[in-house]
Amino acid sequence: MDMMGLYVPTAYEGFGGGSLEFCLAIEQLSRICIGVSVSFAANALGAYPILLFGTDAQKQKYLPPIAQGQKYCAFGLTEANAGSDAGGIQTTAKLQGDRYILNGTKQWITNGGEADTYTIIAMSDKNKGARGASAFIVEKGFKGFSFGKKEKKLGIRCSTTRELVFQDCEVPKENILGREGLGFIVAMKTLDESRPGIGAQGVGLAQGALDEAVVYARTRHQFGKAIIANQAVQHMLADMATKTEAARVLVYTACRTLGAGEKEVSKISAMCKLFATDVAMEVTTNAVQILGGYGYMREYPVEKMMRDAKILQIYEGTNQIQRNVIGAALIKEYASMK
């Protein structure tokens, strides 16, 4: 269906779409399964650094097989002791001759082991703090690159989450993205670009749960009438539908802002991720409530939806971190106003 190349320019054999087309696809996949949609979305998360910071030679080499769905991608930033505080990463990259030597371990990487192409953030100069990080394209099969165990999770179980292990891993010098010291900018710009996709996951999941809840409430009878005839149930559904629609509008607005090439996108990107994923958690929880005991059982999909919703508030920056991003943007915006 050409979906893997939706956001890749036609010059690199993609479909040439933007953030909105990409998020519409994620939204539809997410109505049914967040595990599938995150496998799709994390592919783009791994490809965005190449799209945003790659040289033409890097783009020509890596993007066409990604766009054509022949190669799969992942993004490695998080480590055991560096989650929200990404500045604390310990993986190192030392230049030796014509290659960088990477050492360290990345934790909880979506598509880890399944992907062929990885964008990895590592410290090329620890003394420079955040300015000492660099981003690299690492291929599966590079000497010294291996994978840890597949994690067992509360939800999104069809999505693989693995450790990436670098033991004197040899990466050709030309696989650096941008230049040395640009690693955190690569990571932050990538997350600005990808967070609406997580928002779209929230919108799709909330819509899927709402659909299930309305259908059930129309057919389940108690006290001689359908439970949807109770105003209390209707009001729950009304709030679920309203919040889902509001989340959708915010995600599409973020996509249009990105598509317009605006420079300051961190705030709207964080806002839509925060709002839509909190809505998804609330709506899926209420869908379970509307289905009552059946909602808690595996024979209906809403218990899975509720388990899946939780991860949306955690990955690509927890919702507390999104609030920090929004707060920081507000401080900057209002600094010039006296």
Ligand X SMILES: Cc1cc2nc3c(=O)[nH]c(=O)nc-3n(C[C@H](O)[C@H](O)[C@H](O)COP(=O)(O)OP(=O)(O)OC[C@H]3O[C@@H](n4cnc5c(N)ncnc54)[C@H](O)[C@@H]3O)c2cc1C
Has 316 been annotated as catalytic? yes
Question: Which span (20-28, 87-95, 104-112, 208-216) binds ligand X, by CB under 6 A?
Answer: 104-112
Site string for ligand X, 152-191 (x = CB under 6 A): -x-------x------------------------------
Q: Which of 37, 110, 117, 160 binds ligand X (CB under 6 A)?
A: 110
Site string for ligand X, 11-40 (x = CB under 6 A): ------------------------------
Of the pair 163, 303, the CB lying nearest ligand X is at: 163
Shortest reach from residue 32's CB to ligand X, in Å:
18
User: Rounded CA gap, 300 and 291, in Å?
Assistant: 9
Place of tokens 């690509």: 316
Q: Which of 108, 145, 216, 275 binds ligand X (CB under 6 A)?
A: 108
Which residue among 163, 262, 316, 333 is the active-site one? 316
Please state, as a whole number, how many other Cβ atoms lie within 10 Å of the Cβ of residue 129.
12
User: Rounded CA gap, 295 and 243, in Å?
Assistant: 21
7 lines the binding site for ligand X (CB under 6 A)? no
312 lines the binding site for ligand X (CB under 6 A)? no
Please state, as a whole number, how many other Cβ atoms lie within 10 Å of the Cβ of residue 37.
26
Shortest reach from residue 40's CB to ligand X, in Å:
13
Q: Are strands 73-76 and 225-226 parallel, antiparallel or unpaired?
A: unpaired
Shortest reach from residue 43's CB to ligand X, in Å:
10
Of the pair 76, 295, the CB lying nearest ligand X is at: 76
Nearest Cα neighbor of 125 from 181, 61, 87, 76 is 181
315 lines the binding site for ligand X (CB under 6 A)? yes
Residue 79, C-beta contacts closer than 8 angstroms, at least 6 positions apart: 88, 89, 90, 91, 104, 105, 106, 107
* H/E segment holding residue 108: strand 99-110
308 lines the binding site for ligand X (CB under 6 A)? no
133 lines the binding site for ligand X (CB under 6 A)? no
66 lines the binding site for ligand X (CB under 6 A)? no
316 lines the binding site for ligand X (CB under 6 A)? yes
Place of tokens 């703090």: 129
Residue facing ligand X at closest CB distance: 83
Q: Which of 5, 54, 83, 208 binds ligand X (CB under 6 A)?
A: 83
CB 329 within 8 A of CB 266: yes
For 244-281, letters b (16+ CB in 10 Å) and e give beebbebbbebbebbeeeeeebbbbbbbbbbbbbbbbb
Question: Which span (50-58, 102-110, 259-267, 268-276) binds ligand X, by CB under 6 A?
Answer: 102-110
Q: If binding means CB under 6 A, how many residues of this protein chain bind ligand X?
A: 22
What DSSP string describes 42-97? HHHHHHHHHHHH--HHHHHHHHHHHHTTSS-EEEE--BTTBSS-GGG---EEEEET
User: Rounded CA gap, 273 and 316, in Å?
Assistant: 9
Please state, as a whole number, how many other Cβ atoms lie within 10 Å of the Cβ of residue 212.
21
The catalytic site residues sit at 316
Residues making contact with ligand X (CB under 6 A): 42, 74-78, 83-84, 108-110, 153, 161, 311, 314-318, 320-321, 324
